[in-house]
Structure 1
């Protein structure tokens, strides 16, 4: 430290703060938001902290300074605990006659209020789904738009709410749905729905979860003008509500004996408490077969993955893709799974 220039001493102090914050954030998945609501806000910045620490590591490496070991150690701890933020695996699908393509997509009401200044966005979403041909489709913020025709799916279950504008979650399937229902979340328009689909001799439980939204505007100027204390308090309260909603889901899930697929928009990252609890013993299909950052939300500052497809360990994960088609504030994802005899 003594041999560092004044500027490098300042840089190293910032490095120490970033390393401590990142190290602390690794414990957050184990801390319930009800008890640590404000601290859980760090969940949203873990990807950013990883990238910052990586830049510090590269900076000290170029300078040939031993200070590189600080960020190197913290990044190593994160890699051992959570895996790599960036996946280098191949995105090629393993062909299997038993493959099932499962897509998850928050469609943001099919652009009902013209958030994207483009014509016929709703029709482009439908055309995209037709082209990709998922056998199971899980949609959040579904709205029965007059221009929407998803009748190429043979079966569906939807649960809608709202007085003027109907919206909610929906599951579409090419396989028969023999049972379905909704897990109601109090004091919100969000919920979780499920459908039991039959493929061959197997009955598969498909969940579609939409946890409480953060209501954060991705626009830079809007965030600059937001009162930071109010923003932190609101996010903390949202994470507390997400924990309660997760507990309702887990109680319902415990009663199911079928092999299952869990899809959804968790409005939280893979470094969060709710992610860890919902995932449980299931496989995160992105981690099994995805590539890149796996970004699922259109956030301008850094890549954010808040939409997930989990599968029972009985399924082989034969492929995963994150699409770049921007027809919503979320990007669609699709997992290719097989349930071999």
Structure 2
């Protein structure tokens, strides 16, 4: 510090603050949520904190100052979190008949109430599904009126907990068992279908965890409203924890390998993600590229929709599509079931 100018000392103090904030954000998944659900809000800031700490590293390196090690060390310790933010390479498209192709998408009831001011949303989604031609298709926020639009799938299981909207699993392969986890005190839910894939039965989960009911682009930013938003988010995180516990117990009680699809309403830096994923493989981390964002929020990459494959399965490809037909983006993965 003695060899730093006053300006550089000020920058270094800021560096310490942001490095500690990043370290805390990466520790969130390991802190019991029962202590305070609101602490999970910090995990949402990890992408921005990684970028800021990278800028600090570059700042000190350009000036040949050893203070670069602070942010670098924090990111090195949490390298798995840092690497999950952006993937190079990856495999988006593979043509193979030996793998099952899975797609998951929160379709926001096909823009039924005109949230996106354009025509042809439903037609765009239908065309995308025809183009991708998945073997197993999971929808969240699906409207019961649209079941007939997917007649190419001979097998399906739908659960409409909200009356007209809910979740559905479409399949080209026979469904031999199915059910709903029925999350309490929530319009959100998780369903599953045991699908006969050639010689093996695979359990496919379709999850939609508790949402925050917040539009990040339209919420008024003020001290009073920020407190209300934090309270609302804390309550949502608490419900997500209850839902994750129900799911975990159900998954662990199954004898079948599982493919877990859905909208977690939480990022890869959260305790909820860690619990839902368990020992499974995140297909984006295995074969994805770029940020893999799945939620539409300008300038900030939020990845809250996932496909997790059982550890016994091989991830062949992972693909993100970015047509704006919903507030979410779909993800597609090819998996080889051994």
Aligned to 1:300: 298
> Residue by residue, what CA displacement relative to the aligned partner does 1:273-298 show, whole Å, maximum 9, x if unpaired?
11111111111111111111111111
Counterpart Cα distance in 2 of 1:9 and 1:160: 58
> Residue by residue, what CA displacement relative to the aligned partner does 1:298-336 show, whole Å, maximum 9, x if unpaired?
122411111110011121100001111111111100111
Aligned to 2:161: 161
Shift of 1:33: 1.8
Q: Find 1:222's aligned residue among 219, 222, 244.
A: 219
Aligned to 1:56: 56
SS of 2:259's equivalent in the other structure is strand
Shift of 1:36: 2.4
> Residue by residue, what CA displacement relative to the aligned partner does 1:249-290 show, whole Å, maximum 9, x if unpaired?
112112210111000100011111111111111111111111
Moved more, 138-147 or 230-239: 138-147
Q: Find 1:336's aligned residue among 315, 331, 334.
A: 334
Contact 1:179–1:196, Cα closer than 8 Å, also in 2 = yes
Aligned to 1:323: 321
Counterpart Cα distance in 1 of 2:144 and 2:121: 14
Cα 1:301–1:230 change in 2 (3 A) is farther
Q: State whether structure 2 residue 113 is matched by structure 1 residue 116.
A: no
Counterpart Cα distance in 1 of 2:298 and 2:31: 28
Aligned to 1:13: 13
The alignment of Structure 1 onto Structure 2 pairs a total of residues equal to: 337
Could you tell me the TM-score, scaled by structure 1's length? 0.94
Moved more, 92-101 or 48-57: 92-101
Cα 1:84–1:266 change in 2 (3 A) is closer
Aligned to 2:4: 4
Counterpart Cα distance in 1 of 2:256 and 2:124: 35
SS of 2:144's equivalent in the other structure is coil
Moved more, 10-19 or 284-293: 10-19
Contact 2:91–2:318, Cα closer than 8 Å, also in 1 = yes
Shift of 1:94: 4.5
Q: State whether structure 2 residue 240 is matched by structure 1 residue 236.
A: no
Contact 1:217–1:223, Cα closer than 8 Å, also in 2 = no
Shift of 1:93: 3.7
Counterpart Cα distance in 2 of 1:80 and 1:116: 36
The 5 Å alignment of 1:206-217 reads 206-217=204-215
Query: Structure 2: which 5+ residue stretches go unaligned?
Result: none
Could you tell me the TM-score, scaled by structure 2's length? 0.95
Aligned to 1:90: 90
Counterpart Cα distance in 2 of 1:113 and 1:82: 38
The 5 Å alignment of 1:128-147 reads 128-145=128-145
Contact 1:261–1:309, Cα closer than 8 Å, also in 2 = yes
Q: Find 1:202's aligned residue among 200, 203, 208.
A: 200
Shift of 1:223: 4.4
Cα 1:292–1:217 change in 2 (3 A) is same
Shift of 1:199: 1.5
Counterpart Cα distance in 2 of 1:200 and 1:29: 37
Counterpart Cα distance in 2 of 1:92 and 1:227: 41
Aligned to 2:256: 258
SS of 2:122's equivalent in the other structure is helix
> Residue by residue, what CA displacement relative to the aligned partner does 1:67-116 show, whole Å, maximum 9, x if unpaired?
21111111111215663421112324454431111001000111111111
Cα 1:205–1:59 change in 2 (3 A) is same
